[in-house]
Structure 1
Amino acid sequence: MHDRVRDPAVATACAVVVFALAVAERAPASLLVLAVMSVVTAAPLLLRRRMPLTVAVLTAELMLVVLWFPRWSGGLAAVVAFGSAAYHSPHIGRVFAVSAFCFVAPGLVGARSGSSVSAPSIVGFGTTPFTQALLIGIAPVAMGYALRLHHERAAQLVRLQQVEGQRAIADQRTRIAREVHDAVGHHLTAIQMQASAARHVLREVPPVADRALHTIEGSATSALRDVRTILALLPADGTMLIHAEALAARLATPSCDISVSVEGSLSGLPPAVDHGAYRLLQEALTNAVRHSGATHISVTIRRTPQTVTTTVEDNGPSTAFSAEGQGIRGMHERAQQLGGSVSIASRQPHGWQVEAVLPVSGITP
């Protein structure tokens, strides 16, 4: 449901429920008065997304104004408003503080004084002042915050699945590129070499044959160059190491931020090293976000004339990596294929560090 439809629907549903409860509890007022009071109490919910905390305070004040009215369940609008504020507001501490100020404190005062006037029925079910204060002041905020955490977790899982899907596609492209290069490139190289050798050995061949051999040699050279150019572009579709910040932005969540630091220039890296370093960083970062339970992850990419190093550090518990899974073994194998290494170690006082070092020198771009 679109937000433009959802907010009016929530406000309307709240007004209908409050009105129905008032009628069912036989509130001492005409139906017109009850309908107007229900609409006025639920109307601020129309702005619950744009001004979540303001709407919560407004509904609470409206509810307190009509608390004197017997058998009135207008407090349900405040329940919805504070739950929505906890879900949409980035300042959950403020929401709890305002809720306590508006409801918990008055409810506790009423409970201590034993006066039903100072703390009348908030939701209309005749509960004690302390129970009402707990219900209105804490439960909606806690439920809204729990739903928000659940939503963030679900969104994080979706982003992880997208990243893993992109990684699987890129790995498949890399395998295809390697196989095509090994198969087609080998045969084109053989054709080129044989044609060139034939031209040099058979010095007294007819001009037509010499031209044919020259054409074969030139076509093979051109085709081999085109194949290498295309295959060099294929695995680099959005997987270059310079996109590390974009990768971190996709994986970061409100409960786990990711910072990226780059030391040295990443330009001019050999394609194999560039692609391999990105894949190692992607695997380490995905593992940290999914398994470490950290609130902060730092990524450092360091380029020297001899090596490129990617380091992922988190502040989660030091018991996250209990066993080496397929992903970690794959990281070791990928690094070894490029002549590098991967080290995984616990940090003090807590957290983990995953560092991949790949050599730059000695690899042809």
Structure 2
Amino acid sequence: MPSSRDVLLCTATAALVFGAALAEGSPAKPMALAVLSVGVVAPLMARKTLPLTSAGLSVLVALLGFAVPGWSGKLVAMAACASAAYHRPNRLAGVLAISVLGFLLVPAFVAAKPMGTTTVLTEMIITAIAPAVVGYAVRLRGERAEQLARLHRAEAARTVAEERAGLAREVHDAVGHHLTAIRMQAAAARHVLTNAPPVATTTLDTINDVAARALSEVREMLETLRDRPSGSRITEVADLVDLLSTSDRKVTVELPSGLDRLPALVDHGGYRLAQEALTNAVRHAGASTVAVTVARDADAVTITVEDDGPGTPPDGGVAEGSGIRGMRERARLLGGTLTIGAAVPHGWRVRAVLPVRAGQR
């Protein structure tokens, strides 16, 4: 069902087209102008759910009014074609077919005299091709802006996670070290002072217990700062793929079964590696397709991200930025390897191999 806003917009547009025809002094009967105006606008109420059908019906009505002087329904049909290209960017060829057929070929066929070359070219660009191209361009620009916003949010989240993990390590190393030293000193004093008064013994036991509880609480608190997933994280690569796929960039993923039983370190590290490789492919490769493949055997998990971008790594190697260096360091800490090279026939391939045993240490 069309919304009240769509109904109001279409009603206002029909009234405007009808009023413009009367103001232009069209010789057609007012009833015929009203029927044509409503007919060319009415399909637009289904432009979001049935865009191609809406454009086709609007163009058909515009053709019926082709010979009516002063009637501007053709502009509404052009808007319908632009809307169809916006809502169905993957059906641009169909929209162009409707537009060219309705605004060029049929008018040229039924015209009283044949069109000249210049006239045909002008009509094709302005009325047949331009609406579909404009609608597609607006959709593409919106998707790219949304994609850029998603990338910024993903990078911000990754930065925050890394900062929190670094903070957790620093606090654990500093506070944890001192609390452990306090416990050891208290236990040593308790062991040496065998003839100490009861109050001294009780005090040392209290210091030991309080330090132990404090160390435990610090560790629990730091767990909330670390980016520790509660369930399988690497399977969330599928969600990343859905977010990064657009009409002009197809991102696919292959995930095997059994990934929910990976050790936590490998699961989390594999997700971060795939996230970084995907972000690099989308932002820098200029690819139309990106394929993510996760494979697992008894010994290791292999994560491959491959794109068909126009560039390939130079013979001298890959110029590594902080992102690639971070991926290499993460793979190294997990006991794995990271390789980056040329894909066939062109593009980039990032492959990380992480031994399962790394997360079981």
The TM-score by the shorter chain falls in which range? 0.7 to 0.9
Specify the alignment match of 1:123 in structure 2: none
Specify the alignment match of 1:119 in structure 2: none
Any idea what the Cα deviations from partners look like across 1:244-281, whole Å, max 9, x if unmatched? 22222222223223233334644565544443332222
Query: Does structure 1 residue 248 correspond to structure 2 residue 241?
Result: yes
Count of aligned pairs between the two proteins: 352
Query: d(CA) in 2 for partners of 1:152 and 1:180?
Result: 42
- Conservation of the 8 A alpha-carbon contact between 2:228 and 2:268: no
Specify the alignment match of 1:325 in structure 2: 321
Query: d(CA) in 2 for partners of 1:129 and 1:18?
Result: 26
Q: Helix, strand or coil: the match of 1:50? A: coil
Cα deviation, residue 66, structure 1: 1.8
Specify the alignment match of 2:164 in structure 1: 173
- Conservation of the 8 A alpha-carbon contact between 1:309 and 1:355: yes
Identical amino acids, percent of aligned pairs: 47
Show the 5 A alignment for 1:1-365. 4=3, 7-8=6-7, 10-12=9-11, 14-15=13-14, 17-19=16-18, 21-23=20-22, 25-29=24-28, 34=33, 37-89=36-88, 90-110=90-110, 114=113, 128=119, 131-236=122-227, 240-263=233-256, 265-267=258-260, 269=262, 271-304=264-297, 306-319=299-312, 323-361=319-357
Q: Helix, strand or coil: the match of 2:341? A: strand
Across the aligned residues of Structure 1 and Structure 2, the Cα RMSD in angstroms comes to: 3.1
Query: d(CA) in 2 for partners of 1:223 and 1:268?
Result: 33
Any idea what the Cα deviations from partners look like across 1:39-60, whole Å, max 9, x if unmatched? 4432322221122111111111
Any idea what the Cα deviations from partners look like across 1:196-230, whole Å, max 9, x if unmatched? 22222222222332222223222322332332233
Give the TM-score of the pair, scaled to structure 1: 0.83
Alignment-mate amino acid for residue 216 of structure 2: R
Structure 1 unpaired stretches of 5+: 117-126
Alignment-mate amino acid for residue 303 of structure 2: T
Query: d(CA) in 1 for partners of 2:38 and 2:311?
Result: 54
Q: Helix, strand or coil: the match of 1:236? A: coil
Structure 2 unpaired stretches of 5+: none
Q: Helix, strand or coil: the match of 2:311? A: coil
Give the TM-score of the pair, scaled to structure 2: 0.84
- Conservation of the 8 A alpha-carbon contact between 2:313 and 2:342: no
Q: Helix, strand or coil: the match of 2:291? A: strand
CA change 1:230–1:268 in 2 (3 A) is farther
CA change 1:362–1:298 in 2 (3 A) is closer
Query: d(CA) in 2 for partners of 1:364 and 1:197?
Result: 33
CA change 1:306–1:214 in 2 (3 A) is farther
